[in-house]
Structure 1
Amino acid sequence: MSDAKNTPHRVTEAPVRDKNAPQTRGHGPMAAMSNEKAINFGPSLKRLLGNLRPERPRIIVVTILTAFAVVMNVVNPKILGEMTNLLFAGLIGKNLPAGVPLATIIEQLRASGQGTFADMLSGMNLTPGVGVDWDAVARVGILAISLAVAGAVVAWAAGWLLNTAVQNSVYRMREQVEAKLGRLPLSFFDRQPRGELLSRVTNDIDNIAQSLQQTLSQLLSNLLTLVGVLFMMFWVSPVLAIIAIVAVPISLAAAMVIGKRSQSRFAQMWKSTGDVNAQVEEAYTGHALVKVFGRSKEVEAAFARDNDQMYEAAFGAQFLSGLMMPVMMFIGNLSYVAVAVVGGLRVATGQMSLGDVQAFIQYSRMFTQPITQVASMSNLLQSGVASAERVFQVLDAEEQVADGAQHLPVPTRGRVEFSDVRFSYTPDKPLIEDLDLTVEPGSTVAIVGPTGAGKTTLVNLLMRFYELDGGRITLDGVDVAQVPRAELRSKIGMVLQDTWLFQGTIRENIAYGRPDATEDEIRAAATATYVDRFVHSLPEGYDTLIDDEGSNISVGERQLITIARAFLADPAILILDEATSSVDTRTELLLQRAMNALRANRTSFVIAHRLSTIRDADAILVMQNGSIVEQGDHQQLLDARGAYHDLYQSQFSGPQLEEDAA
């Protein structure tokens, strides 16, 4: 198929959009994406995490490694507390009389009214007159450093594996979206602004990757840390542990209130991002048109409106989610103060050692930190789930009808028959009703009529860009609805008024329909369609690189290349939709000769407004409101003095009509 991607109904003629007005693109309706579905957080998150199922072995290893890292990190405060006990006991014991039993010193202190100091000494493990045991301190310090290094290495390995799992999952999601786009009907793209769709398959998927990568690693580590720290807290001091836990339900309640309010804001934020992308893409694509019609101010105003909406949504989402961290830290600090006060009293009464209090304060920080981080991650998680839901909407879109199992005869002769064909873009506005048409192999059929009569729709139905509402279309007696689309379209070459070239060389664009074509075949097609004439004037010849918009060559030259593309494809059926509308008169005459040769021995459909280009057609169909109102050759239709005669008369002067009549 040549140039089949380039369909007229997908061309946006006015880059300035009014969001409050119904929008149409060609015949197909384009439903504005103004009412984004509210985010369904739970099911969407479950589905998003379900994409990680193939990475289950890595996730299990990550969980084990993270657990080891958490154990090492959780044990460290207790070890550092023992170091503090050794240092504190050595400093206190050095100042006590040597050789006197500790119990005796404690009794003497109580007798002298220093009961608080005596209570503290009773809870310590020291030897009077002996200073700090630096060897023991060094051993404990080396153990703490070793555990910290080992924990960091293990955490790095877990992070590397988790990143691999997340990237693999997102890679598969991109593949799913790409495959899904290939299975969607053309009507889906009619309803989607291109910038909005691009935002879904690029920005939203990138945001999913970032959200998963940042949240999953921290979430797993924080949850395991929470469990480990809770165990150590109860081991060190059940009383202080209960005080610290009181802050948990308060923190969770605050997180739920803030998170619920920010969910809808994130959904709106990513919808607004898509709107801005659509506006920028549309204005940039139609940049020349904007300048010609002096609509720059309107475009800037539309962009400013979309940008303001995006700013408000993003600010609201980030502001609400940004409240999470300060609120969690405030609640955590209250718990920290309570632990410090109660812990100090218990050290003074000899119920706890100073090292245990120090360790517990660290545990208190470690306990509130995971809660705070999990709460603060909610903005990332909500943003990622909002993006995931937008991607899932694409993945869940209704697909085109499955391909049939029948095959076209080889070789394909090109006999096309329309039988009782009915079609409409919207159910309430029928376009084609009970159309019957038979086109014999090798004949050229021209289709003319006013704009909106259904001319392009007719060939789009033959290409199965849209499915029929009723009736059938056959090619060589085989219902095209039962033939795989790729096989059907491989038999059809299409050249459109709106040319489309890909970024690449002129040679690559000509060979797009036949990548295995030889150099001689490419040059022969270029020569037959007069591409060769202007290629030699370019510095790089056939290796000239065409940019994304094809702006480095003229419109007429682009159209010549698309005709050469169809020529090289050598299809059984040729569709020419205003294929010479962008070339000058002299080139048009040359192209007419080339297309006469191209149409030889193959069925051709020629859609034309310029009636001078179709005089030699075997049959001319005049369409109005989706129906064929006249049919015949050029002279027969002129003699009938009907709709074709009126069209022809509107284009040519009286002397030309008299010349034709003579």
Structure 2
Amino acid sequence: MKSSQSLPDTPPDRYRGWHWVTTLWPYLMEYRWRVMAALLCLVAAKLASVSMPFLLKYQVDHLSSVDKQGIAPADWWLWFPLGLLLAYGAVRFLNVFMGEVRDLLFGRVTERAMRRMALKVFEHLHTLSLEFHLNRQTGALQRDIERGTNGISFLLRFMIFNIIPTFLELFLVIGLLLANYPPVFGIITAVAVVAYVAYSVKVTEWRTHYVREANRMDSTTHARALDSLLNYETVKYFTAERREAEAYDSALAQWEQARRMNRFSLFSLNSGQALIVSVAMGSMLLFAAYYVLIGRMTLGDFTLVNAFMFQLFVPLNFLGFVYREIKASMANIERMFELLDEQSAVKDNGTEPLHIRKGEVVFNNLQFAYQPERPILKGLSLTLEAGKTLAVVGASGAGKSTLTKLLFRFYDAQQGDILIDGQAIQSVPQQQLRQVLGIVPQDTVLFNDTLKNNLLYARPQATDAELTDVIRMAHLQKLVNECPAGMETVVGERGLKLSGGEKQRIAIARMLLKRPAIMVFDEATSSLDSHTERGIMAEIREVSRGHTALIIAHRLSTVVDADAIAVIDDGQVVEQGTHQQLLAGGGAYAALWQAQQQSDGVEQTDAEEK
């Protein structure tokens, strides 16, 4: 797997071509009749567009002949130019109208493709391992997806409705000029088009580097701002507003420099394109005027050539803009396609159905390291008996919480197995595995939604009666009763409107609503005060009674009632037994117990003195 710390600044070569076409093609074919109808409208609009200069030519020639022949106003021939004028207006309306119908038909295709791609990326991100998400920047990731989906919209619409029709019109105009007028007009047009396209492609390729750099710095500044705002309280605690502003300004300065180079490259591109167009238009007007003077062309022909030039070079000039934006859009979606290329470090290849009979969990000879040079678990073996509560204790960094991550398959051990009722967890689908596991984490993070919806996240189809039961079991009635909005109370970003104990009770209620076969409590009280901790642990003992439960704990006083206690040190189980057995053994557990009792005694004395 490639590093997930950040996506590379320079994307693989395959992203610089038309890789996106093969990715989006199935979405286009989903509404193939709309695409075909839109293309027919496009062709009709271009045919109308090409016919307008001819109608204009005949109008000018007929009006000139009327003036020269002195035809009376009542002469019926005057109706012929009037018909041409009406036809010109009708054709111009048809040109615009068919374009609008084309956009209406194709809009659904574009929006559906954007929706499907955004959903595809979103679903893919949820399949990636915890390692990727721990290293990613949320703001930058969000920005990359946003720009990528917008880039898809631009690519689809302008590739099909601007580049293709512009070249169609170019071929039609060059062919008509060669067929009806001296070859110099067709030659000038062809040379100008080739020069314009070649120059645009060359310079745009050069400036795409600056577009990518500007996008990268845009994502960086966005991520920096979001990270600072999410940590608003920490910034205030350390009066770091000035430092945050300076760091943000430093990122903005790099973004400004990238934008400045981007703008300079755009100036070079626009100036060169304007020069090519101006030389070509001036040359054609000179030749057209010369042929009128020598009598080989009429004023209507002069008008036709002039109209064709404007009609041709205006979209050609716009084509330059479209090509630039297409390259910019391709740069925008490069990172989104790279996200789709990211592979999870934990493969979900299990195909066997998970059968829970008793709920026994066995950790067998686990060896694991987040980084190869720093092993965490060193041949750890442990059994969590069905229907029993096993507490895992030890010093910080001993590897206790790593067991939880391995059990949920956020990571896979380098060696060893985890078995549930004899089945290796790698052999079953991850979704089935996590459906039978429930957890109260150390840091409960809630959605910025109502209390009710945060509870229902565990099981959306749960009834009100079931909600009432888990609220009672988790002792949440007081919180619900004290809030004016009751269950409709919004808990705030990450649940910050609630206390630590209230969030932990919500986590317990949510786990109970899930009805898991195996319960995990990962240092669920480590951040709470002693009084709240005792209350939460009493609730944990109550709800886990008779269930298979794994309690990861730092404070030994919270797990004295566990059926078994395992002491982990340096990635291995060094002792195992009940609280009384381990105290009687006088080993590592007894030493930890004595140290914590002394620490608690000092804290209590200090509190009494205060």
- Distance in 1 (CA, whole Å) between partners of 2:293 and 2:139 is 68
Q: Which residue of 2 aligns with 1:120?
A: none
Give 2:351's aligned amino acid. A
Q: SS at the partner of 1:593? A: helix
Equivalent of residue 353 in structure 2, options 399, 407, 416? 407
8 Å contact 2:15–2:334 — kept in the other structure? Answer: no
Q: Which residue of 1 aligns with 2:403?
A: 458
Closer/same/farther in 2, CA of residues 655 and 177 from structure 1, 3 Å limit: closer
Give 1:137's aligned amino acid. P
Q: SS at the partner of 1:432? A: strand
Equivalent of residue 124 in structure 2, options 163, 167, 180? 180
Closer/same/farther in 2, CA of residues 153 and 39 from structure 1, 3 Å limit: farther
Equivalent of residue 18 in structure 2, options 45, 65, 88? 45
- Distance in 2 (CA, whole Å) between partners of 1:32 and 1:54 is 31
8 Å contact 1:442–1:601 — kept in the other structure? Answer: yes
8 Å contact 2:155–2:329 — kept in the other structure? Answer: yes
Q: SS at the partner of 2:495? A: coil
Give 1:327's aligned amino acid. G
- Distance in 2 (CA, whole Å) between partners of 1:191 and 1:654 is 36
Q: Which residue of 2 aligns with 1:577?
A: 522
Q: Please tell me whether residue 398 in structure 1 is matched to residue 343 in structure 2.
A: yes
Q: Please tell me whether residue 55 in structure 1 is matched to residue 1 in structure 2.
A: no
Q: SS at the partner of 1:337? A: helix
- Distance in 2 (CA, whole Å) between partners of 1:614 and 1:42 is 55
- Distance in 1 (CA, whole Å) between partners of 2:10 and 2:571 is 36
Q: Please tell me whether residue 316 in structure 1 is matched to residue 261 in structure 2.
A: yes
8 Å contact 1:52–1:166 — kept in the other structure? Answer: no
- Distance in 1 (CA, whole Å) between partners of 2:542 and 2:6 is 47
Moved more, 167-176 or 209-218: 209-218
- Distance in 1 (CA, whole Å) between partners of 2:359 and 2:267 is 65
Closer/same/farther in 2, CA of residues 584 and 190 from structure 1, 3 Å limit: closer
Equivalent of residue 90 in structure 1, options 66, 71, 83? 66
- Distance in 2 (CA, whole Å) between partners of 1:247 and 1:44 is 25
Q: SS at the partner of 2:482? A: coil
User: How is 1:364-383 mapped onto 2 (pairs within 5 angstroms)?
Assistant: 364-383=309-328
Q: Which residue of 2 aligns with 1:422?
A: 367
1:445-475 superposed Cα distances (whole Å, 9 cap, x missing partner): 2222233222111111111111221211101
- Distance in 1 (CA, whole Å) between partners of 2:571 and 2:122 is 34
Moved more, 614-623 or 129-138: 129-138
8 Å contact 2:353–2:429 — kept in the other structure? Answer: yes
Q: Structure 2 length normalisation: TM-score?
A: 0.91
Q: SS at the partner of 1:347? A: helix
> How far has the Cα of 1:343 moved from its partner?
0.8
> How far has the Cα of 1:79 moved from its partner?
0.9
8 Å contact 1:620–1:634 — kept in the other structure? Answer: yes
Give 2:43's aligned amino acid. A
Q: SS at the partner of 1:417? A: strand
Closer/same/farther in 2, CA of residues 419 and 39 from structure 1, 3 Å limit: closer
1:466-508 superposed Cα distances (whole Å, 9 cap, x missing partner): 1221211101111111112122111111011211112332122
1:490-528 superposed Cα distances (whole Å, 9 cap, x missing partner): 111101121111233212222321222222221121122
- Distance in 1 (CA, whole Å) between partners of 2:456 and 2:314 is 61
Give 1:46's aligned amino acid. H
8 Å contact 2:151–2:330 — kept in the other structure? Answer: no
Q: Please tell me whether residue 385 in structure 1 is matched to residue 361 in structure 2.
A: no
8 Å contact 2:11–2:334 — kept in the other structure? Answer: no
Moved more, 152-161 or 578-587: 578-587
Q: Please tell me whether residue 67 in structure 1 is matched to residue 11 in structure 2.
A: no
Give the unaligned 5+ runs of structure 1: 1-28, 95-126, 658-662
Q: SS at the partner of 1:514? A: coil
> How far has the Cα of 1:131 moved from its partner?
9.1
8 Å contact 2:361–2:418 — kept in the other structure? Answer: yes
Closer/same/farther in 2, CA of residues 35 and 281 from structure 1, 3 Å limit: same
Equivalent of residue 158 in structure 1, options 80, 83, 102? 102
Give 1:405's aligned amino acid. T
> How far has the Cα of 1:598 moved from its partner?
1.1
- Distance in 2 (CA, whole Å) between partners of 1:520 and 1:655 is 41
Closer/same/farther in 2, CA of residues 202 and 246 from structure 1, 3 Å limit: closer
> How far has the Cα of 1:147 moved from its partner?
1.0
> How far has the Cα of 1:640 moved from its partner?
4.1
Q: CA RMSD in A?
A: 2.6
Q: SS at the partner of 2:246? A: helix
8 Å contact 1:503–1:546 — kept in the other structure? Answer: yes
Q: Which residue of 2 aligns with 1:143?
A: 87
Q: Which residue of 1 aligns with 2:217?
A: 272
Give 1:260's aligned amino acid. E
8 Å contact 2:38–2:102 — kept in the other structure? Answer: yes
Q: Which residue of 1 aligns with 2:191?
A: 246
Closer/same/farther in 2, CA of residues 479 and 218 from structure 1, 3 Å limit: same
Q: SS at the partner of 1:383? A: helix
Q: Which residue of 1 aligns with 2:605?
A: none
- Distance in 1 (CA, whole Å) between partners of 2:164 and 2:288 is 30
Structure whose residues are more often helix by fraction: 2
- Distance in 2 (CA, whole Å) between partners of 1:386 and 1:77 is 38
8 Å contact 1:195–1:274 — kept in the other structure? Answer: yes
Q: Which residue of 2 aligns with 1:109?
A: none
Give 1:647's aligned amino acid. L
> How far has the Cα of 1:65 moved from its partner?
1.6
Q: Which residue of 2 aligns with 1:490?
A: 435
Percent of pairs with identical residues: 27
- Distance in 2 (CA, whole Å) between partners of 1:341 and 1:456 is 82
1:92-124 superposed Cα distances (whole Å, 9 cap, x missing partner): 333xxxxxxxxxxxxxxxxxxxxxxxxxxxxxx
- Aligned length in residues: 596
> How far has the Cα of 1:216 moved from its partner?
3.6
Q: Please tell me whether residue 292 in structure 1 is matched to residue 268 in structure 2.
A: no
Equivalent of residue 192 in structure 1, options 122, 136, 155? 136
- Distance in 1 (CA, whole Å) between partners of 2:17 and 2:546 is 55
Moved more, 337-346 or 369-378: 369-378
Q: Please tell me whether residue 439 in structure 1 is matched to residue 384 in structure 2.
A: yes
- Distance in 2 (CA, whole Å) between partners of 1:654 and 1:527 is 34
> How far has the Cα of 1:254 moved from its partner?
2.0
1:218-277 superposed Cα distances (whole Å, 9 cap, x missing partner): 223322222222222223322222123232232223212311111111222222222122
Equivalent of residue 650 in structure 1, options 595, 599, 610? 595
Q: Please tell me whether residue 329 in structure 1 is matched to residue 274 in structure 2.
A: yes
> How far has the Cα of 1:641 moved from its partner?
4.2
Which has the greater radius of gyration?
A: 1
8 Å contact 2:53–2:308 — kept in the other structure? Answer: yes
Give 1:180's aligned amino acid. H
Give 1:91's aligned amino acid. D
Closer/same/farther in 2, CA of residues 228 and 604 from structure 1, 3 Å limit: same
- Distance in 2 (CA, whole Å) between partners of 1:337 and 1:535 is 79
Q: Which residue of 2 aligns with 1:481?
A: 426
1:23-73 superposed Cα distances (whole Å, 9 cap, x missing partner): xxxxxx985427422464765433246403442423333222211110111
Q: Which residue of 1 aligns with 2:202?
A: 257
- Distance in 2 (CA, whole Å) between partners of 1:88 and 1:554 is 88
Give 2:352's aligned amino acid. Q
Moved more, 592-601 or 194-203: 194-203
Q: Please tell me whether residue 508 in structure 1 is matched to residue 484 in structure 2.
A: no
Equivalent of residue 619 in structure 1, options 542, 547, 564? 564
Give 1:258's aligned amino acid. V
1:422-465 superposed Cα distances (whole Å, 9 cap, x missing partner): 22223343322222111211222222223322211111111111
Moved more, 335-344 or 39-48: 39-48
- Distance in 2 (CA, whole Å) between partners of 1:440 and 1:600 is 13
> How far has the Cα of 1:152 moved from its partner?
1.4
* More contact order relative to length (CA 8 Å, sep ≥ 6): 1
Closer/same/farther in 2, CA of residues 382 and 40 from structure 1, 3 Å limit: farther
Q: SS at the partner of 1:504? A: coil
8 Å contact 1:66–1:220 — kept in the other structure? Answer: no
- Distance in 2 (CA, whole Å) between partners of 1:240 and 1:655 is 96
> How far has the Cα of 1:141 moved from its partner?
0.5
